[in-house]
Amino acid sequence: MLKFGWIFPIALIAAAALTGFLRRYALASGLMDIPNARSSHKLPTPRGGGLAIVIVFLAGLPILSAAGLLATEVMWAVFGAGAWVALIGFLDDHRHIPAHWRLLAHVIGAVWGLVWLGGMPPLEFVGYSFEPGWLGQVLGIFYLVWLLNLYNFMDGIDGLAGIEAITVCLGGALLYLSGSETLGQWNAPVMLAMAAAGFLMWNFPPARIFMGDAGSGFLGIVLGLFSIQAAWVTPQFFWSWLILLGVFIVDATWTLLRRFLRGEKIHEAHRSHAYQYASRFYGSHKVITLVIGAINVCWLMPLSLWVGLAGLNGLLGLTLAYLPLVLLAAYFRAGAREPE
């Protein structure tokens, strides 16, 4: 297994180099994010750099599979769904795709990934194991589509989406490193973390290029598929992954629910997420990005490992993890109507 360790530094270097190339391409082709009233940035900035994460990670998947470090079914689930969602995002970055067609494409990607993984696995809830049935499969599709889109919603300040991907993937890898029977499973999350770190070299505040829909949607659905794969390995791991993803899940869900209840169009651009209000309050993208990274590492990761490895009840662990996040979302007025 260690003889394939070279793939991780190569993924890091390749993603950094490719992001630089994509930045030059975006500047030359006019692929720019122009600030407007709904933006969190002030200067025109190239976008589409997340494609580097997509290309590097997808190129590494067959290598891991050929080395016996990734099941063929998992490789095809992640490769097919990820590539499809990234393609839709790439087209949307270049020429707007109506929301209903994007949603249909996202459902197709989710179905592909779920079928290759064998559907939703049995899940443990308050000490009992539940077979998902057909309703569970529908909820699994909804879960993947929601993660895909919430990752897009949360990619609104410099460095945040990259920091989230790195910390969540490293937390997931630690879960696998806990036992010999799951030891090889850690390679794919670590490779994705390295690709995201290469992109983050260009996106860390102040960002020189933005991720774009191709990268954010790709990360959302891949992390979702990782969480379902983890549940097939050990049912408790699904709760652990939900905990690792807590900052994005809580902020996006709380914000979009409030906007929906007010009758607003939830797919329209806005600046009412908790992290956006916080970044304006403190006048810094860097501070908020680093604080969220610290929350992931110092709060969510230990709770995730406690649930996955030490047997803390999953629902209780999720409640403990999410409660302060909900309080922070309320404190920073997530979903509140923005001043005119």
Distance separating alpha carbons of residues 94 and 256, to the nearest angstrom: 26
128: β partners: 125
- Tokens representing 232 are 């097939």
Residue length of the chain: 340
Distance separating alpha carbons of residues 297 and 285, to the nearest angstrom: 18
What integer pLDDT is reported at residue 46 of this predicted model?
Answer: 93
Average pLDDT over every residue of 13-38:
88
**Which one-letter DSSP state was computed for residue 267?**
T
Is pLDDT above 90 for 184?
A: no
What integer pLDDT is reported at residue 130 of this predicted model?
Answer: 79
Amino acid (one-letter) located at 82: G
Which pLDDT tens digit goes with each residue over 256-311? 999 988 888 877 778 899 999 999 999 999 999 999 999 999 999 999 999 998 88
H-helix or E-strand spanning residue 232: helix 212-233
With cut-offs at 50, 70 and 90, classify the pLDDT of residue 40.
confident
On average, the pLDDT of the chain sits at 92
**Which one-letter DSSP state was computed for residue 182?**
G
What integer pLDDT is reported at residue 171 of this predicted model?
Answer: 97
Residue whose token pair is 């006019």: 30
What integer pLDDT is reported at residue 339 of this predicted model?
Answer: 64
H-helix or E-strand spanning residue 96: none
Between the CA of residue 37 and those of 40, 286, 338, what are the distances in Å?
8, 21, 11
Distance separating alpha carbons of residues 329 and 324, to the nearest angstrom: 9
- Are the C-beta atoms of residues 109 and 129 closer than 8 Å to each other? no
Lowest mean pLDDT among 36-40, 93-97, 288-292: 36-40
Which pLDDT tens digit goes with each residue over 212-271? 999 999 999 999 999 999 999 989 999 999 999 999 999 999 999 999 888 888 777 788
Average pLDDT over every residue of 160-167:
98
| pTM for the predicted model, two decimal places | 0.94
Q: pLDDT: is 95 or 157 the higher one?
A: 157
What integer pLDDT is reported at residue 179 of this predicted model?
Answer: 62
What integer pLDDT is reported at residue 3 of this predicted model?
Answer: 61
